[in-house]
Amino acid sequence: MLGGERGVDQAAGLRRLMAPRPVRVIAVTSGKGGVGKTNVSVNLSVALAQAGREVMLLDADLGLANVDVLLGLQVRRNLSHVLEGGCTLEEVIVPGPAGVRIVPAASGVARMAGLSTAEHAGLIRAFSELGDSLDVLVVDTAAGISDSVIAFTKAAQEVIVVVCDEPASITDAYAMIKVLNREHGLERFHVLANMVRSAQEGHELYRKIAAVTGRFLEATLHFMGVVPYDEQLRKAVQRQKAVVEAYPRSRAALAFKNLAQKADNWPVPRQPRGHLEFFVERLLAAGTAPDLEAAP
């Protein structure tokens, strides 16, 4: 009997080791355009990769994609070709800086900006077919509260809302959080103040949003930090490079590295939340696999 129990324990441990590891999925979004959201997505991804993580960056601004342009990448195929059935998701992935794998979308393709619910779901499910060697998926959404933004933010475990010191940025960020919270059940958001003159200015932006959210919504806001205005960030954009790679000692680069460290310490999801998510099959496998440490 004892030998039989040991065999069961060994089999359970083997299944645990073979179960695909969960992937931390981070959506980067904003209430309005022009706040530096894509720059945040790119530099956060590269900083995480430089810290040793296996990172993929999805350009989810489906109709106005520009991650490839920001990084000076040559792209032959993108998500529009996947939706048309011309290739697989894996075939459109291109290598980026620090080993980040880029999933490019189309630019100037009106149909991509108006995908159906089923098409959004199909894209999200397609990621489960990718290989297991992935730690983090960063999703650069479109700005605003379109159907695609809602679909991709709901499918992520963490949502970063990028704001800057403009009245429209603050009001639109609150509007986005309100819709995602009241209509779609998202409860936790990380606020990132971008292009600010000081840490104090960034904290003040956060406090403005948090004050209104605390009064009217059942949502929890966390202050993720600030990215200072930095002339070297502008120069990096002109060079079509991530600032963490082009100017690693710049103020902006050091801020992104700090933000990456914070994101890397967020808990990895262990079970699905009951709706469509990226890599949901891995979450199911992780949640049902026997716990090796619990075995006698």
Beta strand 158-163 with 55-60 is unpaired
Mean pLDDT, rounded, for 76-95? 92
Q: Tokens 């004050």 belong to which residue?
A: 211
Average pLDDT, the chain: 89
SS3 197: coil
The count of other CB atoms within 10 Å of the CB of residue 132 is 12
| pLDDT score of 129 | 83
Q: Which DSSP category does 295 fall into?
A: -
The per-residue pLDDT for 287 is 60
Q: Is the pLDDT of residue 295 over 60?
A: no
What's the order of all strands across the beta sheet hosting 158-163? Answer: 94-95, 101-103, 55-60, 136-143, 24-30, 158-163, 188-196, 220-228
Find where tokens 């980040």 sit.
100
DSSP assignment, residue 268?
P
Task: Taking residues 227-252, report their average pLDDT.
Answer: 97
Whether 55 contacts 136, CB under 8 Å: yes
Rounded CA gap, 152 and 137, in Å? Answer: 12
Give the Cα separation of 222 and 160 in Å (integer): 9
Q: Which domains does the chain have, with CATH numbers?
A: 21-283 (3.40.50.300)
For 90, 101, 219, 220, the CA distances from 215, given in Å and listed in that order, are 44, 40, 10, 11
| Residue 211 · residue 221 · CB < 8 Å | no
Please tell me what DSSP assigns to residue 67.
Answer: H
pLDDT at 154: 95
CA neighbor of 40 nearest in space, from 268, 207, 233, 169: 233
- What mean pLDDT do residues 24-46 have? 97
Q: What are phi and psi of 27, to 5 degrees?
A: -95, 130
Q: Report yes or no: 158 and 26 within 8 Å, Cβ to Cβ.
A: yes
pLDDT at 288: 52
C-alpha dist (Å) from residue 30 to 4, 65, 161? 56, 15, 5
Q: Hey, what are 291's tokens?
A: 């716990």
User: Over the stretch 170-187, which tens digit does the pLDDT of each residue have?
Assistant: 999 999 999 999 999 999
